[in-house]
Structure 1
């Protein structure tokens, strides 16, 4: 009989306010602040609740933040999504990725329109120009590219940046464009929305204009008007205009945020005139002194063009310095209060959010969200004996959680915690710190009640006795110490007392006691594991095999097995009787940080720096599950007393709970899933042209990529076509038989068609394909099957069902197989009939939509007229407004006044 196991799935994520890699955005009203939890976010500029989030696997999900549901998933990028931006109407979404591609998505149709290729490195930011239907993108390759969305081509490449470009933005009027890079300056450009094709000779197309810093071409959309020297030399991480376009925020990859004021056209013109006037005066003075032999003459200064430059537009308003590094910021779109020029929200590196009010010269903190999680890595995770409490520790605090509700119960300031446990009764917790102390925390009072100078080095590990009498600590000072609990009679507080000390030759990295308190396992820095008898501290076994030190280990509940996880990426399973190595498993792609048995079983969980959590069977030495959710190194692991859930803590500051479900799984199924994942990762580039064949000015490609879902969609369409064809042949044969024999047997339809007609069954298979995967699915459809599919399009259009889907399928098939269709004589009747049918079907749908829009407009006009009539009637009657309700004598006086 095949053995089955119960699956573990992620149940909760807590302790995270904002992830270091994500950005923050206000909603359109300015009342909600959206923070990314380990993902990128893009705010929709309209008054809607939809938010786009980009993930590390390249997928983009559209979320409804009010319902809390995922509306759609867009699959196209092969690398992590690094940039997202909506256009003003919210109908288009542009995304950039580490795979150097830019994809423009149709949000309404939930499909990719096209991809733009030309950048040679990661795309860092994108922004739409609504007036000219253009898109501007920046990359780490130091180039800014302007794309025409109609022709899907690059029309301008902006050069001149000496370092990587990290952020770009456009003001609301689309008159100015600004870039933030590794350069010590902010580059400011004027946007020419009226740029048209110029008659430039062919040999001058690629000449560089040193004054503009751009490449001459047929269009000049961006024109450089100068650079502004920043007050900080670190690279710019984010640069943004506010909603009104009067402020610019420049945030560096550090603790500084610079706020610049943007002058309007009138102020910029006045500054320009004053600047030119001062130049003329200086030139006149210089010519008088030198007799026109040195410096510019007044005629040369007068002949200069009166153009606005960057110093006329931008002016440094103030510099905000934070205590912690700033990861991202955003301006509030709501109107500023009196005495304020705006509000700004910042996501900090220490897992906190802060909102500041901006005045002319100062900034004051308005709100702060910092209570939920740790300010740095979660290095310790430990459950109480009954698994009702969870203790986590970081560099400066210990937090007590309810693991079921994810609520933070207590926060206590401590030293840098590296290990810990709960004392019996769950009223106190012991924390081993980096400084070598053991700190006793009173959970009820939420305070550190005692600090014991226990070791001279970091306390890397603590292991409790099963009877609750004490614990063992291992430290970098080569000591393993045994401690007993005691209560101080004077203060009635818990204390600890050192009873025995075991001196080792190397640093102690981990200690572990067996369940029967018979054996003590000690992991040393020399990559060996030594086992001692607890009662006599006599040496029992020495385990050799790891190439690097074992960072975590655990003994099974029955005392039969010892599992160790090492920095050499391996897990070894040892027998406790003779110290023989049962199996060595290559477990993780990086160091194994912690391993732990599920109580009363031989199942093992392991975590590592490769961000993975793995589930093993120590009897069969099989990998059961791989749980992937963390975005950084996983430092710690805790398994509940019944094995019904586990808790992991990570460098990404998140704490995740994984629950055991009632869903069984089999090893063969999991192996097949892992193979499918590997196959999915190794698929081709989804129709993209090779990077070495990309022209200098950029090119367009197919949006989307091949995945296992698209392959499954193609298989389902082909299967539906075959079943429909065979069913149609059976129907034709039955009709012929019925003509010859009127009393023949009744036709029995195929059960697999679910009671539908053949064409309806094919339409169901096509409509079940995800819109973002439809193009890739049709690309993989063979030509003969494409011809069969086109034969059904006319019937679907005439029925008026799913006209938009049918038109999209027809257009895609014509684009993909244009040459073969043009040279195939048998396809001409289908194309001819399809042309007229598509035109009639689209026109009918257009008329219906127009009629509905006109009816809605008529209703709106009627409602406005009714309101106007009511207002006029109210004015003619002269009815007074109802008096407010007032109690007592005031009410009588007011009523008499109203009567008078």
Structure 2
């Protein structure tokens, strides 16, 4: 039954939309050892020719709650553990059923980001603090706003209820803590003394004390009635981001930008333990109800669970695709809820905590993916400063290429598949042997980050575009810079060679595409017409046309000789990858599927048309506009669980390679005719 429950909850989003996804997405992405997956193996879609690598067993994440339109800043459990509240940069509070994952209420009314939420002990009310400088108290059942508390002179960063629900404490960027009457809305006390923004507040369980953490690197403990400062706790080497009392009020935990958690004696002010192990700022801390454990969420993308007495790290919960902003224990200590900057809330099993990985992957977000021309190899670049080379058939990671001093922004594979080029925020281009993994050359000369790289078709040259506003052409063997192409008025975001190597196309944040003579370095044409940054460029194999994608949500097709705009295609979102089909120059491969440029569809615009039509249809395999589905011919086919949704991808025929925010890269190959399976 436990396996069946996990099977359903993990795929809940897709099954609710399309119940038959239980036989496709759920079977594809469930762990190898899932009993349900094994029992229904005969139902596995026959049209999946290459299965993505998945984990061996269920990880500790029980459920992912989706729905916010912005970063999740804070989460809180109700005292009975049945509900979770979350606040977001989309200015809303959401209340969720912690068992089913359903969103019960969306509370709207704040005029700015919701930075903090808290349940009253009886679960009847929710308090929220916002960047609109107010605190709101809501009825947790009806969703009605009961009170708006005004008085802070800056953003409200944190809120907390007293255990009897009669008072609310709030911390603010105005450096103060305020204590409010939760019924009347009156401000009872203003606590002054911090020398920086108050980032977190907490009541002791008896309501007699308030703890506050500040950007002045200190924790203060206050008398909640008189407003007197009882203790100032010093020792952190950075801002204090979060504070929490143990249930008996004897200890305070604090998290800091110095990457540590400290546990303090609330009476004496002594530091009892310093918990070290996070690789980034600690953004949130919470005690379990019995005071035996502390949970911490960090910018290193993990949650850690610690023994509050010994200071030992008991569990590290991994698999996040972004910073963990907030953590909270359920009242029974069995679950941990965490809020992420990727707009989701995750609920974890705090007891098992195990995450058994079979996936090799990057240590952080995948920024670029490239496929070799024969489709046998995939290269990926990441913010973990590495390049990985993968076998496109097995999905195995063949090599990890290390050497860049900063994030890898772009990767390219030579036409013979023997070499990989990578551009980095360390201002260099590296050329690697794809078999041995050796770095053959480091190309230096750019004055800023290298955003895009491409090989010429014969592999003899590499072109790179940089945030220094230039394009450089390099000899791929000697590493010499052959030409520096100047003329763009802003960052160069994308570069491509023509198939004969005679010309280079470049796209820029200056909203233009330029076509250059690759030998002389002369600018042959400047193509103007996009209303925003150009994000991708491609040259047809016959060299007659150039395609460009832009943040203005269009793709433009240009005559490479005259510079005329032949067609404008309305696309629902920005295209970061464009590639002309090598055998058919009327077929443009994109992230979302193929575009047939030879059709007479009214979704094409001539340069004389002033209004955009409905979005143009895509053919073949791709990804939906919202990134939640693999599509075929514009029809949703396979729902993607959150952890498998791509930040970067490449479509090569029926194979799709996807890099994710968590650092994993996975591949799937589907039959040309899914009806055959």
Q: Structure 2 length as normaliser, TM-score? A: 0.57
Q: Which has the larger radius of gyration?
A: 1
Does residue 410 of the first structure (1) align with residue 359 of the second (2)?
yes
Is the CA contact (8 Å cut-off) linking 2:236 and 2:258 kept in structure 1? no
CA distance 1:516–1:656, change in 2 (3 Å): farther
Which of 304, 321, 336 is the matching residue for 1:354? 304
Matching residue of 2:563? none
Q: Alignment length, in residue pairs?
A: 488
> Which of 247, 250, 271 pairs up with 1:243?
247
Aligned-partner Cα distance in 1 for 2:253–2:139: 30
Cα separation, 2, equivalents of 1:330 and 1:421? 42
Give the whole-Å Cα distance in 2 for the aligned partners of 1:127 and 1:476.
42
- Inter-partner Cα distance in structure 2 for 1:42 and 1:414: 25
CA contact (8 A) 1:570 1:584 kept: no
Q: Find the counterpart in structure 2 of residue 330 from structure 1.
A: 286
Alignment partner of 2:469: what SS?
coil
Please state how far the C-alpha of 1:87 moved relative to its aligned partner.
Answer: 0.8
Correspondence list, 1:675-686, <5 A: none
Label 1:581 to 1:344 Cα distance change in 2 as closer, same or farther (>3 A). same
- Name the SS of the counterpart of 2:110 in structure 1: coil
In structure 2, the residue matched to 1:625 is 572
* Cα distance change, pair 471–350 in 1 and its aligned pair in 2 (3 A): closer
**Residue 47 (structure 1) shift:** 1.9
Inter-CA distance 564–364: structure 2 relative to 1 (3 Å threshold) = same
Shift of 1:604: 5.0
Offset at residue 154 of structure 1 (A): 2.1
Residue correspondence of structure 1 range 496-575 to structure 2 within 5 A: 510-513=452-455, 521-523=463-465, 527-529=469-471, 545-554=487-496, 564-566=506-508, 569-574=509-514
CA distance in 1, matches of 2:395, 2:323: 22
1:592-607 paired onto structure 2 within 5 Å = 594-595=535-536, 604-605=548-549
String of CA shifts for 1:113-140, please: whole Å, max 9, x gaps: 2322111111011122364733222211
The residue number in structure 2 matching 1:725 is none
Alignment correspondent of 2:276: 321
- Measured against aligned partners, the alpha-carbon deviations of 1:71-122 in whole angstroms (never above 9, x if no partner) come to 2211111211111111111111111111111111112222212322111111
Residue 645 of structure 1 pairs with residue 622 of structure 2: yes
Counterpart residue number, 1:860: none
Deviations 1:415-454 (A, max 9, x none): 999866455776655567999998766786966658699x
Pairing 1:400-479 to 2, within 5 Å after superposition: 410-411=359-360, 421-423=370-372, 430=379, 461-466=410-415, 468=417
Q: 1:179 to 1:94 in 2, by over 3 A?
A: same
| Alignment map for 1:756-767 (pairs within 5 Å) | none
2:530 matches 1:585: yes
* Alpha-carbon separation, structure 2, partners of 1:572 and 1:461: 20
Deviation at 1:614, TM superposition (A): 4.6
Residue 69 of structure 1 and its aligned partner are, at CA, apart by: 2.2
Distance 1:141 1:66 in 2: 38
CA distance in 1, matches of 2:141, 2:79: 14
How big is the shift at 1:257? 1.7
Deviation track 1:653-705 (CA, whole Å, cap 9, x = no partner) reads: xx9667568779xxxxxxxxxxxxxxxxxxxxxxxxxxxxxxxxxxxxxxxxx
Instruction: State the 1:149 CA deviation.
Output: 3.5
Cα 1:230–1:587 shift into 2, 3 Å:
same
Return the match for 2:317 from 369, 394, 397.
Answer: 369
DSSP-derived class of the 2:488 partner: coil
| Mapped partners of 1:482, 1:142: distance in 2 | 51
2:126 to 80, 93, 96: 93
Q: Secondary structure at the match of 2:524?
A: coil
CA RMSD, Structure 1 to Structure 2 (Å): 5.5
Give the secondary structure class of the aligned counterpart of 1:587. coil
Q: Give how far 1:370 is off.
A: 2.1
Q: Is 1:122 paired with 2:155?
A: yes
C-alpha distance in structure 2 between counterparts of 1:524 and 1:184, whole Å: 39
Name the structure 2 match of 1:81. 114
Q: Secondary structure at the match of 1:585?
A: coil
Deviations 1:823-844 (A, max 9, x none): xxxxxxxxxxxxxxxxxxxxxx
Paired residues of 2:238 and 2:257 also in contact (CA < 8 A): yes
Q: CA deviation at 1:253?
A: 2.2
Q: How does 1:758-777 map to 2 (within 5 A)?
A: none
- The correspondence of residues 44-59 of structure 1 with structure 2, limited to 5 A, is 44-59=77-92
The whole-number CA distance in structure 1 between the counterparts of 2:624 and 2:92 is: 27
Whichever structure has more strand as a proportion of its residues is 2
TM-score (norm 1): 0.44
Question: 2:235 is matched with which residue?
Answer: 231
Q: Of 102, 119, 125, which residue of structure 1 is paired with 2:135?
A: 102
The equivalent of 1:687 in structure 2 is: none
How far 1:171 moved relative to its partner? Answer: 1.7
